[in-house]
Structure 1
Amino acid sequence: MLYSKTTPADKRRLFRERLATGELLRFPGAFNPLSARMIEQKGFEGVYISGAVLAADLGLPDIGLTTLTEVAGRGKQIARMTDLPAIIDADTGFGEPMNVARTIQELEDAGLAGAHIEDQINPKRCGHLDGKAVVDEATATKRIRAARDARRDENFLIMARTDIRATADGPHGLDLAKDRAKALVDAGADAIFPEAMRTLEEFEAIRSAVDVPLLANMTEFGKSELFTAKQLADVGMNIVIWPVSMLRISMGATGRALDTIIEQGTLTSKLDEMQHRADLYELVDYEGYNHFDTSVFNFEVAR
């Protein structure tokens, strides 16, 4: 009822313990607090909060227009709704190293279990688009050192994302990604997010380069093939995210429903595609609130 009964500190500690087992943890992207609760209900290991989704939720492109206040606020709303750990996309940290430091502390206070800071220049762009540019190694590592120095809970996961693979074709781009990943780990990153890997062999190459947890991004319509969780586990990945998938599916369904209203004047034909009222009431835990006010849940919902 209301919010998670597990404290942020306990979420972080339990997340770190499970991450240390080496198993693959599945983190679907939550596009709002209710979807985070459903992710937990379905038995996943964690929740991912995408910067692209947060921007799209505001009707904005993913080019660094969102602010720390917006991201931390929405992150808090999502993280507090589930007992699962939530990892959030913190873009480039919202500024210079001092800004990165403040970002980490704000995200800690918001109840997140971890965040990733990337090495793109500002303004950044979606990781699976062409034409990206990254900062030099010194700047990238300063961001991670600032994040590491600023955190107060040692279990808050500092993840470094590198977009350098896409800046060069062929083996050279992969070599750059391996070198950048090593430098970011040396700077204090607890985990690495190698963005826009193209093949399982490329994920394996990063796995062989560093000895920290690795995240695989299975976003649709991007640079990477859409590998299964088992395939990723077999090459040593530790976390897999589907960052925008639930939003895409929901928006696709919304578009089709609106077309149906236009064409048929009713949504009767779509009833079997909708979440039933009874399922929604169960997900938001109407019955739990009855403990405090018996007038809240004094009805039955017929299926």
Structure 2
Amino acid sequence: MDLRMLLRPGAGQILPGVANAVSARIAEMTGFPAAFVTGAGVANSFLGMPDMGLLTLTELVGHVAAIREATNLPLIADGDTGFGNALNAQRAVRLLERAGANAIQLEDQVFPKRCGHFDGKAVVPQVEMVQKIRAAADARRDESFLIIGRTDARAIEGLAGALDRAAAYQEAGADLLFVEAPSSLDELAAIPRQVPGIHLCNMVFGGKTPLLPASELGAMGFAGVIYANAALQATMRTVVDVFAHLRDTGSLSGIDERLASFRERQAIVDQPGFFELDARYATLESKDGL
């Protein structure tokens, strides 16, 4: 499905965060129509490091390419700050579009950035981010590739400053807007009301923004609701529990319900499909006498 059709004001479409190809397969299997490739999730799971601008563009591009191989879902790539200035942002757009992303999210933090729900963030001047958005829009090969303008200015300039930035980014060419880390229900509701456009929001378990159901956020006017690291947090909790149980008991007995079965695991990675391909080409080789 085309992201422009999916992400309409008020749709409240859930966008699950995926950090790797297997989580993208699960997102597709469970019926989601699109996914968000989370930079924080890739940094945490691939590097074992916090979301502090440590992930490189080429590392992210490799993950997006692997995820694209595993799923047909439209993918929003978390492009952080564009990995530098306007020219870096242009390169990020071109590489991520070529890797199979359907959209890029760009934010106005200084480089290196921090997770949007960390303290101690800083943002670049508004005019600098406006130019970055313009450069990103100019760089795309396909007009259906979407540019998402994210601002983290709520923590630095207050909500009014963040909304001014969102409006400026929209005027500069951002197709969608994302005001990160509003801190109250009133602030959430004000975002799509005061800056008409196509808005995303981010529900972070343990973060700075109140958690609301996607249906209520849609009623406020949000087009998409990102659950960037719900899967990663669930995985971390489960791995800690299973490893602790295994360490203490030397057995999986008593915790086996926390594990996917062998058959479920193979179904998720499409083992039957790969076995079918293997058999097809083995038969061709036999017939050709190779």
**Shorter-chain-normalised TM-score: which range?**
over 0.9
CA distance in 2, matches of 1:124, 1:292: 43
Alignment of 1:202 onto 2:187: yes
1:31 aligns with 2:19: yes
How many residue pairs are counted as aligned between the two chains?
280
Equivalent-residue separation in structure 2 for 1:55 and 1:286 (angstroms): 28
Q: Report how far residue 234 of structure 1 moved.
A: 0.9
Looking at structure 2, the residues matched to 276 and 178 of structure 1 have their Cα atoms a distance apart, in angstroms, of 48
- In structure 1, the partner of 2:116 is 127
Question: Which residue among 52, 55, 59 is the counterpart of 2:43?
Answer: 55
Mark the runs of 5 or more structure 2 residues left unpaired by the alignment. 282-290
Distance 1:139 1:149 in 2: 16
Stretches (4+) displaced over 4 A: none
Separation of aligned partners in 1, 2:85 and 2:42: 22
Q: 2:285 maps to what in 1?
A: none
1:175 to 160, 167, 177: 160
Q: Does the 8 Å contact 2:242/2:258 carry over to 1?
A: no
- Report SS of the residue matched to 2:278: coil
Query: Cα offset for 1:241?
Result: 0.9
- Alpha-carbon distance, 1:215 to partner: 0.7
| In 2: Cα distance, 1:123 partner to 1:181 partner | 21
Alpha-carbon distance in 1 for matches of 2:117, 2:31: 28
| Counterpart AA for 1:160 | G
Does residue 1:107 correspond to 2:92, yes or no? no
Which of the numbers 76, 95, 105 marks the counterpart of 1:116? Answer: 105
* Counterparts of 1:195 and 1:59, CA distance in 2: 24
Report the AA paired with residue 94 of structure 2. Q
Contact 1:182 1:209 (C-alpha < 8 Å) held by counterparts: no
Q: 1:237 aligns with which of 197, 201, 222?
A: 222
How much does 1:21 deviate? 7.2
1:43 aligns to 2:31 (yes or no): yes
- Letter paired with 2:231: M
Q: Identify the residue that residue 271 of structure 1 maps to in structure 2.
A: 256
- Please state whether the residue corresponding to 1:288 is helix, strand or coil: helix
Q: 1:295 to 1:106 in 2, by over 3 A?
A: closer
SS of aligned partner of 2:70:
coil
Distance 1:55 1:77, change over 3 A: same
For 1:87 and 1:16, the matched residues in 2 are separated by 12
Higher RCO (C-alpha under 8 Å, 6+ residues apart) = 2
Q: Is the 8 A contact 2:121 2:156 kept in 1?
A: yes
- Counterpart pick for 1:246 among 231, 235, 250: 231
User: 2:15 touches 2:226 (CA, 8 Å); kept in 1?
Assistant: yes
Shift of 1:22: 4.7
Contact 2:181 / 2:209 at 8 angstroms: preserved in 1?
yes
**C-alpha separation in 2, matches of 1:142 and 1:188:** 10
Q: Per-residue deviation at 1:62? A: 1.2
Q: TM-score, normalised by structure 2?
A: 0.92
Q: Equivalent residue for 1:75?
A: 64
* Structure 1 residues not aligned, in runs of 5+: 1-10, 297-303
1:240-269 residue CA offsets vs partner (Å, 9 max, x unmatched): 111111111111111111111121111111
Cα distance per residue 1:209-228 (max 9 Å; x no partner)? 33321111001111101111
Tell whether the 8 Å contact from 1:132 to 1:167 is kept in structure 2 after alignment: yes
Matched residue type, 1:294? A
Structure 1 letter corresponding to 2:216? Q
Q: Is 1:157 matched with 2:142?
A: no
Q: Does 1:221 align with 2:224?
A: no
AA at the equivalent of 1:29? G
Cα deviation for residue 197 of structure 1 reads 1.1
Q: Secondary structure at the match of 2:123?
A: coil
- TM-score, normalised on structure 1? 0.88
What SS does the aligned partner of 1:48 have? strand
CA RMSD in angstroms comes to 1.6
8 Å CA contact 2:89–2:132 kept in 1: the answer is yes
- Determine the C-alpha separation between the residues in 1 that align with 2:56 and 2:37: 15
